Chains A and B, each alone.
Chain A
């Protein structure tokens, strides 16, 4: 399997612009997670889905952030409008509920810089 795929790997944008991050989970996995990693706050869970349905979005920082999972093989995290404090590395991870060990498989991340 190719693992979790994220695109783009790097994104540089200007404040106020819309940013869309994309994720393709491992085929067959039914859980998908979006994390944000910063020096100040470490690794934070933003939202996660089970069978394409959002289960817990309590980590989404503001209404400027939204996430969707239209099908089992694709998810997006959107920031509109973006702000400099959104600069971070965003990770997508997936897992299989039948694997009760809860191992999550991480993508390589998207490094977002908002100028």
Chain B
């Protein structure tokens, strides 16, 4: 079974600083990896995803993530934080699409990002 570990339940950065949110996964087969963002009192929305191909994935709002198989990691970064980036971020993994059960996403516990002025 797959699992996701997000290191750090709370990350605080200054506006304009680098954002780095860490995610490590465990999967016995090549995974599909996702980052979702949740703004206060809202549902989750997809930020970016890795399925196959290029390991550096670009998403919305200037975020990107790099799939590193050797490190089983999929860390999320943004060069310069903006106040509007304050939200909770969830890393998730699924293991492909052959068979009904593979449509399940397994989410990490989430990382709350605070951006200080």
A contacts, CB < 8 Å to B: 4, 31, 33, 42-43, 45, 48, 50, 55-56, 91, 93, 95, 97, 100-109
B109 with A42: CB separation less than 8 A: yes
What's the Cα separation between A35 and B106 when bound, in Å?
11
Contacting chain A: which of B12-20, B60-68, B95-103? Answer: B95-103
B58 CB, min distance to chain A CBs, angstroms: 15
Given contacts A42-B110, A91-B43, A108-B43, are A103 and B49 in contact (CB under 8 A)?
yes
A97 with B103: CB separation less than 8 A: yes
Q: Which residue of B32, B36, B41 is within 8 Å of A101 (Cβ)?
A: B32
> Which residue of chain B is the closest to A41 with respect to CB atoms?
B109
What's the Cα separation between A85 and B65 when bound, in Å?
36
B36 contacts across to A, CB distance below 8 A: 106
Q: Which residue of A4, A42, A56, A103 is within 8 Å of B104 (Cβ)?
A: A56
A101 contacts across to B, CB distance below 8 A: 32, 49, 51
B103 with A31: CB separation less than 8 A: yes
What's the Cα separation between A107 and B26 when bound, in Å?
28
Main secondary structure of the interface of B (DSSP, over half): mixed
10 A–B contacts, CB within 8 A, in A order: A43-B90, A50-B100, A56-B104, A93-B44, A95-B103, A100-B51, A102-B105, A104-B46, A108-B41, A109-B43
B104 with A48: CB separation less than 8 A: yes
What's the Cα separation between A45 and B100 when bound, in Å?
15
B contacts, CB < 8 Å to A: 32, 34, 36, 41-46, 49, 51, 90, 94, 97, 100-110
A48 with B103: CB separation less than 8 A: yes
Given contacts A42-B107, A42-B109, A43-B107, are A103 and B46 in contact (CB under 8 A)?
yes
